Copies of this chain bind each other. A is one copy, B any other.
Amino acid sequence: MRIALDAMGGDHAPGPIVTGAVQALQADPDLKLILVGDQEQVEACLAGHPDAPLDRVELVHSAHVIGMQESPVEAMRTKVDNSITRCWQLLAEGRAAGIVGAGHTGAMVAGGLRLKRFLPKVRRPAIATVMPTLKGPCIILDVGANIAPKPQHLVQYGVMGSIYAKHILGREQPTIGLMNVGEEAGKGHELAKTTHGLFNSSPLKERFIGNIEGRDIHRGAVDVVVTDGFTGNVVLKVCEGMFEFIMKMVGQSVFGVLHHEKALAMSAVQELVAKYDYSAFGGAPLLGIDGVCIICHGSSKERAIQNAIGVASQHLRSNLNQRIVQELEAMPSLGEDE
């Protein structure tokens, strides 16, 4: 199993990215990695890991890096030899079965859309993210690949999300909920109303519990939260900011009143931050792509990169894509969307 890693992607690249790669290789003897990026810099990082299993590492040079603030379309046009495009090319050529990167999310998605390597029957790929809830992790999709989807796309997200929830999160009978402003069937804008109807007339009906509201996500009301990429992206980032905010408030108020056991409380809070840190999650898969693409948070360091590579391996080993294609092929037509 060979995975291409964008060694130049993210706020901390390339050092911690390469370290995460080495850790992933050490943890999984079947893993091979292609490190994509500035050869000189990547080699220098690798030199700092004399114990790295270099026989399972390949280097592919790329001269450019797409900055986090650049327009992805513009950047991909002018910086032809950038590390993200290189990763996608390796996937397209079959040299890598999956790609992992913490660079510009828009550019990661744009790279995949440009290649149009979607799985058969998939109309639009979606970024799926795992969220912690009171009842264990759930998955929310789309969090930003497609900000103006059609109802048919959202139903396909339900298929892809429930396969992910079953085979990656281990939910035997995953339930699906549609993000909306109220639970009743008639609630929401046109997209929500039509999607609600489509779910109920599709084979997903049994798994579809209907509309859910924002507060239901963290209560663990469903295993798969389906939403458009605009709402999903806002939700994901609101959670990130909210987590940051509350942990600061907790720090100020709780640590402020403690004396002898302050250190104990601080380490408990630090553990919690490490556990739920929205920026350290193992990366979000771009589902619907023919291949595996895991998009990491820009602030990813060693642990997040190692986790993301692990998610990519698991994705490949679970034959997720084959299962998605099988389920979509078995579904009756949802009608035309364009």
Using a CB–CB distance below 8 Å, which chain A residues touch chain B? Answer: 69, 71, 106, 132-134, 144, 147-148, 179, 181-182, 184, 186, 188-190, 192, 213-219, 227, 229-231, 233-250, 253-254, 256-261, 264-265, 267-269, 271-272, 276
Q: How far is the CA of A22 from the CA of B158 in the complex (A)?
A: 50
Return chain B residues, CB-CB under 8 Å to A267.
257
Most buried by B among A133, A192, A238, A276: A238
18 new A-B pairs (CB below 8 Å) besides A214-B240, A217-B242? A214-B239, A215-B240, A217-B241, A219-B244, A234-B234, A242-B242, A242-B243, A243-B246, A246-B250, A246-B276, A249-B276, A253-B268, A254-B269, A257-B268, A258-B258, A258-B264, A259-B261, A261-B265
Q: How far is the CA of A144 from the CA of B219 in the complex (A)?
A: 21
Out of B147, B229, B231, B264, name the residue touching A234 (CB < 8 Å).
Answer: B231
Give the residue name and chain of the B residue nearest to A250 (CB): B250
Q: How far is the CA of A182 from the CA of B233 in the complex (A)?
A: 9
Q: How far is the CA of A258 from the CA of B249 in the complex (A)?
A: 19
Return chain B residues, CB-CB under 8 Å to A256.
268
A-B contact pairs, 27 of them (CB 8 A): A181-B233, A181-B234, A189-B230, A213-B234, A214-B233, A214-B234, A214-B235, A214-B240, A215-B238, A215-B241, A217-B241, A218-B238, A234-B234, A239-B242, A242-B242, A246-B250, A249-B272, A250-B254, A253-B269, A254-B254, A254-B269, A257-B261, A257-B264, A257-B268, A258-B264, A260-B261, A261-B265
A215–B244 CB distance below 8 A: yes
Give the residue name and chain of the B residue nearest to A134 (CB): B245
Give the residue name and chain of the B residue nearest to A182 (CB): B106
Q: How far is the CA of A248 from the CA of B184 in the complex (A)?
A: 28
Q: How far is the CA of A240 from the CA of B216 in the complex (A)?
A: 9
Q: How far is the CA of A76 from the CA of B248 in the complex (A)?
A: 44
Return chain B residues, CB-CB under 8 Å to A238.
214-215, 217-218, 235, 238-239, 242
